[in-house]
Amino acid sequence: MIDNGKLPPLLLLHPDDNILVARRDIAAGERVDLDGETFTIPKAVELGHKLARRDIAADARVLKYGAPIGSMKAAVARGEHVHMHNLRSDYIPSTTRDGH
């Protein structure tokens, strides 16, 4: 039953979502299915991280599990990494070890 190779590497958690989650580590240049189209991953992405499902404008809400998880600090293009550098909390800012 468990066959990692055949499973799509990107996971859509809810139909309303504008991000996808990496089901495993994905290498740069890997060709994946993105909403029915073949898409070449521009930059390696790690398991559990998020990619933009479509272009998302600055200040737009990001939806995961069909629920808002923050707003974009800057616009992001389809297939790009969505993370600390471009997404902010609408509640309390997140912190890292560097204090950013």
Partner 1 sequence: MSTATSTLPMRGWLRKDGRKGIRNVVAVAYLVECAHHVSRLIVQKSGADDVHLIGFPGCYPNKYALEMMKRLCTHPNVGAVLLVSLGCESFNREELRRHVHASGRPVDLLVIQQSGGTSRTVNAGIDAVRKMRAKIIEQQPVPMALDELVIGTVCGGSDGTSGITANPAVGRCFDWLIEQRAACIFEETGELIGCERIMASRAITPELGREIEACVDKAANYYRIMGYGSFAPGNAEGGLTTLEEKSMGAYSKSGSSPISGLIKPGDVPPRGGLYLLDVVPDGEPRFGFPNISDNAEIVELIACGSHLILFTTGRGSVVGSAISPVIKVCANPDTYERMTDDMDVNAGRILQGAELDDVGREIYELVQKLAAGELSKSEALGHQEFILTYKQFEPIGPACLPAA
Chain residues in the site for partner 1 (CB under 8 A): 1-4, 7, 11, 13, 21-24, 46-50, 64-65, 67-70, 82-84, 87-97
Least spacing, CB of residue 24 vs partner 1, in Å: 7
Least spacing, CB of residue 51 vs partner 1, in Å: 11
The C-alpha angle with vertex 28 and arms to 37 and 81, in degrees rounded to 5, equals 75
The residue among 37 and 91 lying less far from partner 1, judged by its C-beta, is: 91
Structure tokens at 58: 């600055």
Q: Rounded to an integer, what distance in angstroms lies between the CA atom of residue 84 and that of residue 96?
A: 9
3-state helix, strand, coil in the chain (%, to 5): 5, 35, 60
The residue among 21 and 41 lying less far from partner 1, judged by its C-beta, is: 21
